[in-house]
Structure 1
Amino acid sequence: MKPLCLFPLPLLLLAAGCKKEPKTEVEKLPRATQEGKNTAGFLLDGRAWLPSASDLTASGPVGARREGRSLTVYMVRNGSSSERVTVNLFLPEIFIAGAFLLNRTPNISLGYRPAHGLFSQYAAFPNGYYFTGPDAVGELVVTRFDTVARVVSGTFEMRVREPNTGQTRQLTQGRFDARF
């Protein structure tokens, strides 16, 4: 009778050792954490987008920069030697966690940098720079902003528009957890 009782044990061990494959695009994204793990991801037009490291990103594929009262959260994915995609979320002033509307168009050449989002694709040709603005709105929700531990975490959603062609991209279910 004992051998029959031990029969299910190998099956249970085998099932426990199998890694569950993600079934949906959202399941491919990293968990939303608030620990400064330098993780990020979002759905780009419904498909999972994750940053990746390369020799070109010495500071890492996910991070944040704090300069004075402003904050930039960045995500980078490098493809082949000539392909690179970046996402930047910029707040000109941040003191505490909260929700921030990304609905103004930056004019960097004039030094005008309101809260905005940027999605850029660098390739051999053509490069594409997509911005949030009045006709391509986004929202950034900072759930943790800790200047002592130097951690910023949150979620975002935004529609971005390429100003010359009018082409848009949709970034949804975004999340980030970074050190600055």
Structure 2
Amino acid sequence: MFISCNKDDQAPQPTPEPTEIDKLPPATQTGANKVGCLLNGKAFLPEGQLPSSSNPYCAYYHDAFVLVFRIVKNEDNITGNGTESIGVYSTDIILEENNTYSLKMDNTNHFGVYSIISRTNSQSYETNEDHTGELHITKLDKEKNIISGTFWFDAVNEQGKKVEIREGRFDMVFEGWAGKV
């Protein structure tokens, strides 16, 4: 007796769940207004909106760069209670394409922050001399106001608890101007 199976008789295979890194936006350089990273191994992407605040937010004014994105957990609360945010800041330097900048809180003012806003226990984790990271600019188009790049950092709170930000990527149209003084 012969039994044969036809390809069409096979049970459909379930679609595999995407990995955390697969949930991040692709690393592009088109001004797609996308940003994301891994926070302690889990995808962290902008979600929700606070009153009078864009999410994500990116600005670059000549020598001051800021990139902030949030997960807003309570949009009806103007205080942002329950909101988590990640920010990358750089001041006092003119950024250049294809350069990498150290993220640590020191006299250069290039740092990374993870914060949680809570009525009872707000927390802030920041880079410092011992817990650092990097910001790499892959594209800086001063005519179209596009800035793209990657970042990673380790940050600690006042109690010494550490968070790890990895695989950060952004492709943003920035507010501001990047012209010469």
Normalising by structure 1, we get a TM-score of 0.79
Q: What is the identity percentage for the equivalent residue pairs of Structure 1 and Structure 2?
A: 26
Distance change (3 Å), C-alpha of 1:35 and 1:22: farther
Number of equivalent positions:
158
Decide which of 115, 121, 126 is 1:126's aligned counterpart: 121
Matches within 5 A, 1:34-45: 34-45=29-40
Bigger helix fraction:
1
Distance in 2, matches of 1:40 and 1:73, equals 9
Distance change (3 Å), C-alpha of 1:161 and 1:35: same
By how many angstroms is 1:62 displaced?
1.3
Partner of 1:27: helix, strand, or coil? helix
Match in the other structure for 2:168: 174
| Corresponding position: 1:60 with 2:54 | yes
Name stretches of at least 5 consecutive residues in structure 2 with no aligned partner. 1-7, 175-181
By how many angstroms is 1:21 displaced?
5.7
Distance in 1, matches of 2:84 and 2:147, equals 22
- Quote the RMSD (CA, aligned, Å): 2.3
Distance in 1, matches of 2:43 and 2:73, equals 15
| Corresponding position: 1:75 with 2:75 | no
Match in the other structure for 1:141: 136
Partner of 1:156: helix, strand, or coil? strand
AA aligned opposite 1:118: V
